[in-house]
Structure 1
Amino acid sequence: MWTGWHLRIRSAGLGVALFAMLGNLLPAMALAGPSRPEPRPMVISAAHPLAVEAGMEVLRRGGDAVDAAIAVQAMLSLVEPQSSGLGGGAFMLRYDGTTHRVSAYDGRETAPAGASPTMFLGDDGQPLTRGIAMTSGRATGVPGVVAMLGLAHQQHGRLPWSSLFESTASRADAGFAVSQRLARFVRGPFAQNRMADVQAYFTRPDGQLIDVGDTLRNPAYAAFVRELAVRGPRWFYEDEVASAIVARTSAAPIPGALSVTDIAAYRPQQREALCAPYRVYRLCTMPPPSSGVGLLQMMQMLERTRIARLGPDNPQAWYLFAEASRLMYADRDAYVGDPAFVDVPVAGLLDRQYVAARRALIGPQAAPAVAAGSPVRTWVPSIDATVEPAGTSHFVIHDSHGNAVSMTTTVESFFGSGRMVHGFFLNNQMTDFSFLPTGANAIAPGKRPRSSMAPVLILDRRGRLLGALGSPGGNAIPAYVGKTLIGVLDWHLPMQQAVDLPNLIARPAAISGETTRMPPGMVDALAQRGIRIQPVNGEDSGLHGFFWRDGHWDAAADSRRDGSVAQHRQGR
Structure 2
Amino acid sequence: MISPTHTNVLRPKARNSKVLATLIGTALLISSCSAVPEERLEGSSPVPTPQTPLSQIGVAAGHPDAAEIGVDVLEAGGNSVDAAVATAFAVSVLEPHASGIGGGGVSLVAVPGAKPAAFDYREVVAENGKIPASGTGTPGFVDGMWTLHQKYGELPWETLLTPAADIARQGFKIPKFLSERMNDGVGSQVVSQYPQFRNSKGTRVLKEGELLVQDDLADTIETLAASGRDAFYTGSISKKLTQVEGLDSKTLSKYRTEEFTPVQGQVGQYTVVSAPPALPGAGLIQMLQQAEGAGIAEDAPTSGAYAEKLMRAWSNANETVTTQFGDQRFTTVDTEEILDRQANLDIGKNFEESANTKTPSGPIDPGNTTHLTVVDAQGMMVSMTNTITSFWGGTKSEVVGGFFLNNQLSRFKTVDSPANQPEPGRKSVTWSNPTMVLDQQGRPVLGLGSPGGQQIPNILSAVLIPALLHETPLQEAIDGPRYHLQGGALAVEGSASADILKAAKKQDWKIRETKRVDGIFGSVQALRINYEDRSLTGATDSRRDGGHVVRDAPTP
**TM-score, structure 1 length as denominator?**
0.82
Residue 434 of structure 1 corresponds to which residue in structure 2? 413
* Corresponding position of 2:386: 409
2:393 is paired with a residue whose SS is coil
1:335 to 324, 334, 345: 324
For residues 141-170 of structure 1, the C-alpha deviation after alignment (integer angstroms, 9 at most, x for no partner) is: 111111111111111101111110111112
Equivalent residue for 1:447, pick from 412, 426, 432: 426
Rounded Cα–Cα distance in structure 2 between residues aligned with 1:173 and 1:525: 52
Aligned residue for 2:72?
A: 57
Q: Is the aligned partner of 1:493 residue 2:489?
A: no
The letter for the 2-side match of 1:258 is L
Residues 1:324 and 2:318 are matched in the alignment: no
The equivalent position to 1:194 in structure 2, one of 162, 180, 189, is: 189
Q: Which residue of 1 aligns with 2:54?
A: 39
Amino acid at match of 1:231: S
Q: How does 1:527-542 map to 2 (within 5 A)?
A: 527-538=505-516, 539-542=520-523
Give the SS at the match of 1:434: helix
Please name the residue that 1:149 is paired with.
145
- Aligned equivalents of 1:237, 1:160: Cα separation in 2: 20
Of 496, 500, 519, the residue aligned with 1:522 is: 500
- Report what 2:129 is aligned to: 115
Whichever residue aligns with residue 524 of structure 1, its letter is: K
- For the Cα contact (< 8 Å) 1:276–1:282, is it kept in 2? yes
SS of the aligned residue for 1:535 comes to strand
User: Which amino acid counterpart does residue 218 of structure 2 have in structure 1?
Assistant: A
Structure 2 partner of 1:240: 236
The change in CA–CA distance for 1:517 and 1:457 in structure 2 (over 3 A counts) is farther
Q: CA deviation at 1:562?
A: 0.3
Letter of the 1:298 counterpart: M
AA partner of residue 287 (structure 2)? M
Q: What letter corresponds to residue 101 of structure 1 in structure 2?
A: K
Structure 1 portions without partners, runs of 5+: 1-34, 121-132, 250-255, 372-383
- Correspondence list, 1:92-131, <5 A: 92-97=107-112, 99-116=113-130, 119=131
- Asked whether 1:174 is paired with 2:163, we answer no
1:92-127 Cα distance to aligned partner (Å, 9 max, x none): 001112x242111101110111234xx57xxxxxxx
Shift in Å at residue 366 of structure 1? 6.6
Would the alpha carbon gap of residues 280 and 357 (structure 1) be closer, same or farther in structure 2, given more than 3 Å must change? closer
Partner of 2:214: 218
Name the CA shift for 1:346/1:208 in 2 (closer, same or farther; >3 Å): same
Q: What does the per-residue CA deviation read over 1:192-224, in whole Å, with 9 as the maximum and x for residues that have no partner? A: 643477443311221221011111111122222
Displacement of 1:546 after TM fit? Answer: 1.8
Q: Which amino acid aligns with 1:516?
A: G
Give the equivalent residue in structure 1 for 2:22: none
Structure 2 residue matching 1:110: 3-state secondary structure? coil
Amino acid corresponding to residue 505 of structure 1 in structure 2: H
Is the Cα contact below 8 Å between 2:304 and 2:502 reproduced in 1? Answer: no
Q: Distance in 1 between matches of 2:227 and 2:265?
A: 40
Cα deviation, 1:9-34, whole Å, max 9, x if unaligned, reads xxxxxxxxxxxxxxxxxxxxxxxxxx
d(CA) in 2 for partners of 1:437, 1:407: 26
CA contact (8 A) 1:496 1:557 kept: yes
Distance in 1, Cα, partners of 2:493 & 2:213:
38
Aligned-pair distance for 1:73? 1.0
- Residue 82 of structure 1 deviates from its aligned partner by 0.8
Kindly provide the amino acid, as one letter, of the partner of residue 352 in structure 2.
Answer: G
Q: Output the CA distance in 1 between the equivalents of 2:419 and 2:363.
A: 10
Partner of 1:205: 200
SS at structure 2 position matched to 1:258? coil
**What displacement does 1:557 show?**
2.3
Q: Which residue of 2 aligns with 1:556?
A: 539
* Aligned equivalents of 2:188, 2:126: Cα separation in 1: 25
SS of residue paired to 2:369:
strand
| 1: CA distance, partners of 2:228 / 2:522 | 33
The CA distance in 2 between the partners of 1:488 and 1:358, in whole Å, is 22
Per the alignment, in what secondary structure is the counterpart of residue 447 of structure 2?
strand
The 2-side partners of 1:530 and 1:437 are apart by: 27
Give distance in 2, aligned partners of 1:319 and 1:494.
23
The answer for the alignment partner of 1:129 in structure 2 is none
Number of the residue aligned with 1:396: 373
Tell me which residue corresponds to 2:271: 282
Contact 1:311 1:491 survives alignment (8 Å): no
Q: Kindly tell me: are residues 313 and 194 of structure 1, through their superposed partners in 2, closer, same or farther at Cα, counting changes over 3 Å?
A: closer
> Partner letter of residue 201 of structure 1?
Q
How far does residue 388 in structure 1 lie from its aligned partner after superposition? 8.0
Letter in 2 for 1:570: A
- Give the superposition deviation at 1:297: 0.6
Greater shift in the superposed pair: 547-556 or 88-97:
547-556
- 2:440 & 2:462 partners in 1: Cα distance? 22
Deviations 1:282-315 (A, max 9, x none): 1111111110010011111122222112222332
Deviation at 1:435, TM superposition (A): 5.4
- Name the aligned partner's letter for residue 152 of structure 1: L
RMSD: 2.5
Residue equivalent to 1:379 = none
**Range 496-505 or range 525-534, more displaced:** 525-534
**Secondary structure of residue in 2 paired with 1:164:** helix
> Retained in 2: the 8 A contact 1:66–1:156?
yes
SS of residue in 2 equivalent to 1:111:
coil
**Which AA in structure 1 matches 2:155?**
L
Q: Any idea what SS the aligned residue of 2:413 has? A: coil
> Cα distance 1:432–1:223, how it changes in 2: closer, same or farther (>3 A)?
same
Amino acid at match of 2:485: A
Aligned AA for 1:483? A
Match of 1:313 among 266, 285, 302: 302
Q: Which segment is superposed worse, 309-318 or 262-271?
A: 309-318
Aligned to 1:75: 90
Of all paired residues, the percent bearing the same amino acid is 28
Change (3 A) 1:385 1:521: closer
Segment drifting more, 288-297 vs 356-365: 356-365
The aligned counterpart of 1:89 is: 104
Partner of 1:570: 553
1:353, CA displacement in angstroms? Answer: 5.4
How many Å separate the matches in 2 of 1:95 and 1:504? 30
The SS at the match of 2:185 is coil
TM-score, normalising length: structure 2: 0.84
Flag the 1:365–1:198 CA change in 2: closer, same or farther, 3 A.
Answer: farther
Report the number of matched residues. Answer: 498
Query: Retained in 2: the 8 A contact 1:335–1:344?
Result: yes
Alpha carbons 1:323, 1:506 under 8 Å: kept: no
- Structure 2's unaligned 5+ residue stretches are 1-49
The alpha carbon displacement at 1:521 in A equals 3.5
Contact kept? 2:357, 2:507, Cα under 8 Å: no
How far did residue 556 of structure 1 move? 1.2
Question: 1:184 is matched with which residue: 155, 162, 180?
Answer: 180
Q: Tell me, yes or no, if structure 1 residue 473 matches structure 2 residue 452.
A: yes
